[in-house]
Chains A and B, each alone.
Chain A
Amino acid sequence: MLHISKHNLLSLLTHASSSWQVFCPSKQGSTVNFGWFEGTVDTVAIPVNSCKGAFLPQTEELFTYRGTPETGLSLTGGFDGQKPVLIFFARPCDARALTLLDRVFLEGEYADDRYRSRRARSVVVTVGCKSPLDTCFCTAFGIGPDSKAGSDVFVYEDETSLYFEPLTEGGAGFVAAHLAYLAEGGTPVSVMEELRRAELPLAGRIWVEGMAEMLDSMFDHPVWEKMSARCRGCGACTYLCPTCYCFSVFDAPRGTHGKRYRSWDSCQFSDFMLMAGGHNPRPTRKERVRQRFMHKFNYGVKRQGDYLCVGCGRCIRACSVGLHAASALFDLKEAGR
């Protein structure tokens, strides 16, 4: 298998960044976050955020306008062919989450042109998780530390080297373009074995089988009230979740020109559904928390054909009051018995 010594990784990425937009984890202040490559990479920590921002940026310009409705207008779309995206070191959960976002943004009557053009030429390089965190429960969703769904290249990491296994044409292309940095030889059998055996501490406590069906009859269950009482109504969980995708569209005028943007939004915010005239179909935390988990564990299954959660545990780390997918699955299971 082709491999690279960890020491040379930065030079590979620096080279890659001339033809790719590289999205990778790096240490930023006190946390490790995914972001555009700026000369450093952290291959150890699982970042607090997900890599969805590479395809669905938190804020993106839809167009710039000039003029006014009164005097006439011109719009210029702010999107053209950019360098393809390279996700360098997604985790198996991240890669799988991208396949779920694909169902939202690419399938159905309308495909999202921006998402599609970023995604179409992207290469997702995923590293197997040798040390899952206490918050990881991906195995509940049928994936695991060595899952390859959604990845173009899979990387095995041992003490000194990273072994590249191309999985798709795009992945092979990426590897071929960086042969100068890669050496031939060796199969990381023990790493493969280790990944296969890796156990997740939460796996035994979380249960999703039949969850979607069970929730069909739990819309009015009192458990929502109890669960949501501690929610602070912030956007931390949804913004960091790799499968949450809600956004809003808004204008930012500056005199006779301005921009229209779209930005992530969160169904946990109190005004998310506030309508002109003051009606709010989800007026309290109860409805909003219910929406979040019903979306992930029931509506998503009906609409996208799968749970909209990959068990990455980011919401566990994000929430300051311990309300997250794992606690919800646990409480819902108890309540629905």
Chain B
Amino acid sequence: MNDLREQLKEAVASAFSQGRVRSFVCLERGFYPFATMPAILHSGSDADRVEIGLADAPLLAKYLLDMPKPAGIVVRSCDALGVSRLIRDRRVKREDLYIISISCPGVVDTAKIPMSMHRITALEKAGDALIVHTALGPTELPWSSVLLDRCLACVSGAASTDADVVLDDGRGKPPAPVDYSEIDEVEHMAPDERYAMWEKEFAKCIRCFACRNACPACSCRKCSLDLPEPEWLSRAVILPEQFMFHFTRAYHVAGRCVGCGECERACPVGLPLMKLNRKFTRDIETLFGVDDARIPRDVEVLGTFLPDDPEEFC
């Protein structure tokens, strides 16, 4: 693990020293020493700050939009999908990017560490366990019980290969089996029951736009929902507007969502946004016969019309 970090620091420093980048987005130690946060570096001398991100690692792709180019980025495979999304949506150019991909064993969601264990002083990965150090001493938790939801659906923890530098220590998380049982559950609900569930969830939404602002597929410079004219969405946080917002968001990313889960992670009130996103993803997979609709491809499923496309879209 540490080796990977050393290699990464070197790779970032040399990207600067070779003049390959003007800026670099990576993770660094957060205010809580066991968590990480995004950092945008402007010089190789900052490379010491680079962290792999054991816990609470935000995804970084979207920062590329505003960074001075050529811009570097450290990606794990979920973030690599986001970068690929931005490239295919023509928000950034591949030649303006310097990508370092790393392998990833999964990232801890500190919110999943039981409350009784707060006062965390340090976190440590030991094989298949997470050791939570607290003032009262260490406790071991099974690794898979504390991972971010996104990791439970990970495409692959191996370092992605479309990168300028590939750093893989062989400890990447194996691809997660495809599991749509959560979507099945929602689909099997009676319509009234399902409506009531979404109504309840949408009513909770405070329309803070954290989901949209975190999403690599929501990259419009000026979001149509922010425009005063025509006003698609008023600022009123009332139920009809909530439905309007959530449908618009979900439809706008349909076919382009990379399943990174950053929207849901960013949501401060815990809306299950992935239930909507994954429903679309699955429908696209079954209706259009594509393999893993999260992976951006040259021929966009919903962005391209083929004569044999199915007529219905439910």
Contacts and interface: CB of A to CB of B under 8 A. Distances in A.
A61 to B, nearest CB: 9
B35 A261 contact: no
A271 B226 contact: yes
B38 A48 contact: no
B268 A252 contact: no
Interface string A232-263: 11111001100000001010100000000101
Contacts of A49: 206, 269
Given A230-B37, A230-B39, A320-B266, A33 B208 contact: no
Interface in A162-197: none
- Kindly state the interface size class of chain B when it binds its partner: 35 or more
Contacts of B35: 322
Contacts of A318: 208, 210, 268
B119 A29 contact: no
Interface string B1-42: 000000000000000000000000000001110011111100
B208 A59 contact: no
A326 B58 CA distance: 18
Contact of A320 (B39, B118, B214): B214
A158 interface: no
Interface stretch (B72-80, B154-162, B188-196, B233-241): B233-241
Contact of B118 (A133, A229, A250, A322): A133
A330 B31 contact: yes
A327 interface: yes
B234 A236 contact: no
Contacts of A264: 206, 237
Nearest to A61: B236
Contact of B270 (A30, A58, A248, A265): A30
B235 A248 contact: yes
Nearest to B210: A234
B93 interface: no
Nearest to A30: B270
Nearest to A328: B31
Contacts of A235: 206-210
Interface in B284-307: none
Given A33-B269, A326-B31, A234 B237 contact: no
A317 interface: yes
Contacts of B213: 232-234
Contacts of B138: none
B272 interface: yes
B273 to A, nearest CB: 11
Interface residues of A, number: 45
A320 B237 contact: no
Given A230-B39, A235-B210, A252 B31 contact: no
A30 B38 contact: no
B204 A29 contact: yes
Contact of B204 (A33, A319, A322, A330): A33
B265 interface: yes
26 contacts: A29-B200, A30-B272, A133-B118, A232-B213, A233-B213, A235-B206, A235-B210, A236-B210, A236-B266, A239-B206, A239-B208, A250-B235, A252-B234, A252-B236, A261-B236, A263-B237, A265-B235, A270-B226, A319-B268, A320-B214, A320-B268, A321-B37, A322-B31, A322-B58, A323-B37, A330-B31
Interface of B: 30-32, 35-40, 56, 58, 62-63, 115, 118-120, 200-201, 204, 206-210, 212-214, 226, 234-238, 262, 265-266, 268-272
Given A59-B236, A239-B268, 5 more contacts: A49-B269, A133-B118, A201-B118, A250-B235, A322-B32
